[in-house]
Chain A
Amino acid sequence: MNRRKIEEWFFKGLMIGSAVMVLGSLVLILCTVVWRGLPALNLEMITQTPKGGYYLGGAGGILNAIVGSLYLAGGATVLAMAISLPIALYLHFYVTRSRHAAMIRLALDVLWGIPSIVYGVFAFILMLLLGLRASLLGGIIALTLLELPIMTRGMDEALAMVPPALKEASYSLGATRLETALKVAVRQSMPGLLTAILLAFGRGIGDAASVLFTAGFTDHIPGSLLEPAASLPLAIFFQLNTPFPVVQDRAYASALILTVIVLGLSMISRRLTGKLTEHVIR
């Protein structure tokens, strides 16, 4: 009798300890980045592009990488949206056999699991076929591939929450599947769709391996789709790999900027979700 109680307490303690450890690692990561990044952060970092000798400790900032990342992830998110939404709508309004839907979902889940470096390599092969060099467009292609499964599955789950009665009401009024999908389901599930979009954007802006060969790196803000584009993750990586402590400090500051952008996005999406649900029919 007593042994059972002891075992119960022991494992419960172990579980709470594990949960505390997992959350502790989150706190530790955030604290490390803030603690080391904040002292090196200044206005110059986020308002200027690198001047001559920046990577040796010279003046300038990483505006090129911030803008480059926004272009890359923004472009990829728009492209991914144009492909994801139709697929998600297809899964809920057009698919005739549930077997097909299950297979498409399996394919999406498997795509989700493909490492980003493989997407980078694949996009690079595509670029060779198209005769593209490392450029904003190349990076956008790679990130679109990376974001597609994340966004589509997110939208798929959001659309699954639409009550069947709502669809039936729409059909019974004579609406087609397309009209029901676009005018009823999309509006009803808007918060979920936005969450999916922001989630994908966050993944896109934080990914380094896929833009490594495809987007290149430059100290300028790209002026066209065919120019190379810098990105925040790569800026962090390159600054960290210099032997100068001043520049490494800037890598920590850049990491702080990236973390704030990514976590800020996820907070905004949570806020937005709360606001938009006012208009959702339950």
Chain B
Amino acid sequence: MKSSATEMILGFLLAKTPDKQMGQRSRPNRLFMDRHAGRLMGSLALAIGLLVLLIAFALFLRAYPILTYMSVGELLTGTSWHPLKGDFGFYPFIMGTLWVTSVGMIVAVPPSLLTAIYLAEYASLRVRSLVKPLIDLLAGIPSVVYGIWGVLTIVPLIRNFVAPALHRWLGFFPLFRSDNPTGYSVLAGGIVLAVMVFPIIIAVAEEVIRAVPGGLREASLALGATRWQTIKHVVLRRAVPGVLASVMLGFSRAFGETMAVMMVVGNLPKAPHSIFDAAYPLTALIANNYGEVMSVPLYDSALLGAAFILLLVVLVFNIASRLVLVRIVQGG
């Protein structure tokens, strides 16, 4: 509609210019502005579209020296991290990130999805308009503040109650064995991450569930199903791809979170074996060391390699979930 309208205006204005040889210069200034502003805006948009590639390329280029020094396999599975001796094994850090993120997602996903279902299917308009801004508020809290909260609340809770209790009752599972008396642990990082990704999963999952056509619900309810049965058998079945996408989005946010995790996770460069062990995620590795290591030859390159791994994982999860979500929005 808009482009045809513009063409009409354009044609009208051009028709009024009798002398064709005058060309560009005799055109009204306004059209000139319009055209060139459009070009400028277009190139900005193109630049932002290419920014992702540029970032990935820059990181890869700077990380390249480490790949000529060690193979990818050695980098990923090496357990020794002694930059001064030339040992760059990412394994402990990758495991640290995976442990913290997994614990975070296990804690975050069930309550987030239940809350999203409640908001989308049960809550009255008043409750929803009251609760949603509060959840948005949660998304706005800076990550350092989450970190402070973790240090003040979660870490002491784990140190004084959770770790001793679980160690005593479930210590025969290696997962719950505790020989770390500080409380700065995978579990602390996971809980803080969980609260940080609540708003992301809830917002996206609620939208996805609400996008399920109302007719499906009505058909199920009309057959005599209860509301929960309708949700379980009809709504959720339909919403599965979108709900998965919301979880993946939360995962990629948790995967790349730096400050809050770094403050509560203990930062010991050893792969954790229990949720009460300390861990050292990739993000914390970069944050603690980058910027001051330019003198050690391969160190800088190794850290950029870590950043590249981080970016790659986040990009894969992000792009996959966005592609799913775009389809849902278009379909609905």
Could you tell me which A residues sit within 8 Å of B by CB distance? 4-5, 7-8, 11-12, 14-19, 21-23, 25-26, 28-29, 32-33, 36, 83, 86-87, 89-91, 93-96, 102-104, 106-111, 113-122, 124-126, 134, 145, 148-149, 152, 164, 167-168, 171-172, 174, 176-179, 199, 202-203, 205-209, 212-213, 233, 236-237, 240, 251-252, 255, 258-259, 262-263, 266, 270
Contacts and interface: CB of A to CB of B under 8 A. Distances in A.
A33 B149 contact: yes
Given A87-B44, A115-B310, A124-B290, A258 B145 contact: yes
Given A28-B153, A212-B291, A177 B52 contact: no
B257 interface: yes
Given A122-B59, A206-B143, A258-B145, A26 B137 contact: yes
Interface centre among B141, B227, B257, B291 (most CB of A within 10 A): B141
Nearest to B108: A22
Interface in B1-46: 1-3, 5-6, 9, 30-31, 33-34, 37-38, 40-42, 44-45
Contacts of A255: 144-145, 148
Contacts of B226: 4-5, 7-8
Contacts of B287: 117, 209, 212
A167 B317 CA distance: 37
A115 B256 contact: yes
Given A12-B118, A14-B114, A32-B149, 17 more contacts: A11-B228, A18-B112, A22-B202, A23-B134, A29-B141, A106-B326, A111-B48, A113-B249, A115-B255, A115-B311, A118-B307, A122-B55, A171-B9, A177-B2, A206-B142, A259-B145, A262-B141
Given A25-B138, A107-B48, A207-B143, A116 B5 contact: no
A207 B142 contact: yes
A178 B259 contact: no
A106 B321 CA distance: 11
B30 A176 contact: yes
B118 A94 contact: no
B145 A209 contact: no
Interface in B310-330: 310-311, 314-315, 317-319, 322-323, 326
19 contacts: A17-B114, A22-B138, A29-B146, A32-B152, A86-B44, A94-B42, A104-B48, A107-B49, A110-B322, A113-B256, A114-B52, A122-B59, A207-B143, A208-B144, A208-B259, A236-B148, A237-B144, A258-B145, A266-B140
Residue among A102, A114, A125, A236 with most chain B CB within 10 A: A114
A113 B252 contact: yes
Q: Nearest 5 A-B pairs (CB), nearest first?
A: A115-B256, A206-B142, A213-B291, A90-B41, A15-B118
A8 to B, nearest CB: 4
- Interface SS majority for chain B: helix
B229 interface: yes
Interface string B52-64: 1001001100100
B114 A86 contact: no
Interface in B116-166: 117-119, 122, 131, 133-138, 140-149, 151-153
Contact of A233 (B31, B144, B152): B144
A87 B30 contact: no
Contacts of B86: none
B198 interface: yes
Given A26-B134, A86-B44, A18 B149 contact: no
B282 to A, nearest CB: 9
A22 B115 contact: yes
Contacts of B146: 29
* Residue of A4, A110, A252 ringed by the most chain B CB atoms within 10 A: A110
